[in-house]
A = this chain, B = another copy of it.
Amino acid sequence: MQDAAPAPADAPPEAGLRDRKKEAKRAAIIAAAQAEFIAHGFAEARLARVAARAGVAKGTLYLYFDSKEALFDAVLRGALPLIFAPPEAADPGIPPQTAFRLRLRAAIADMQASGRDKLALIVLSESAQFPGLARIYLETILEPLFGLVRDYARSSGVARLEPLTRYPQLLLAPMLAATMWNRLMTERPPLDLPELLETHLTLVLGPPEGEPAPLTG
């Protein structure tokens, strides 16, 4: 019911104070919920904790979301648009392989920074209860990434890479696996995702052509 976002991010400037506060609260709830879901998964997440973290009463949650599931849905949808932001007009002088690597690198860094990689795990693992969400997730996040890989493999003209057009997963799987690894192995030093990505890309695609050094220290 209240699920259709009541006010888009780019609301008219004269949007009432009322609406702005509502939107802020909505955002606070989603943020609290995201933290809760990441920390406990869906089944073990407690709406009482979400409400407490968001600084509202339990009942208030239901002014914004119809159910726990709808809240989870909103967290995911809130996360989605950010994941695969516009391509940012690739610099023309850059060689395609470099551009490709930059794109992937940015996507991975973004997911990690926002904690949405953890959300992905939750969707993937508790998907039995959310077939709908799972599909959304795949279509909205994974498919575009796969498309990126496919396009590159196809346009590169390298025969060795042909399998990637059929199984783009092969290039991305380590990111997923590493995310899991880091979630699990809290006792060991976490895997460095960017470095792992780089290593994997080099292993599969070959060493990078002269490209700008990564910014990440």
Residues from chain B with Cβ under 8 Å of A43 in the complex: 41, 43-44, 126
Count of residues in A whose CB is under 8 Å from the partner chain:
45
Residue of chain B at shortest CB distance from A176: B177
Q: Is A80 an interface residue (CB 8 A)?
A: no
Contact with B along A178-189 (1 / 0, CB 8 A): 101101111100
Q: Is A202 an interface residue (CB 8 A)?
A: yes
Q: Is the CB of A186 within 8 A of B125?
A: no
Q: Is the CB of B44 within 8 A of A203?
A: no
Q: Is A122 an interface residue (CB 8 A)?
A: yes
Separation of A79 and B204 alpha carbons in the complex (Å): 33
Residues from chain B with Cβ under 8 Å of A121 in the complex: 124-125
Q: Is the CB of B44 within 8 A of A128?
A: yes
Residues from chain B with Cβ under 8 Å of A125 in the complex: 41, 121-122, 124-126, 180
Q: Is A58 an interface residue (CB 8 A)?
A: no
Residue of chain B at shortest CB distance from A173: B177
Number of identical protomers: 4
Residues from chain B with Cβ under 8 Å of A95 in the complex: none
Q: Is A62 an interface residue (CB 8 A)?
A: no
Q: A1-9, A19-27, A109-117, A164-172: which lies at the B interface?
A: A164-172
Q: Which of B163, B166, B185, B202 contacts A138 (CB 8 A)?
A: B185
Q: Which of B41, B127, B161, B178 contacts A128 (CB 8 A)?
A: B41
Q: Is the CB of B184 within 8 A of A127?
A: yes
Separation of A44 and B178 alpha carbons in the complex (Å): 26
Contact with B along A148-166 (1 / 0, CB 8 A): 0000000000001101101
The 10 closest A-B pairs by CB, nearest first: A125-B125, A43-B43, A173-B177, A173-B173, A173-B174, A134-B184, A163-B199, A124-B180, A127-B184, A176-B177
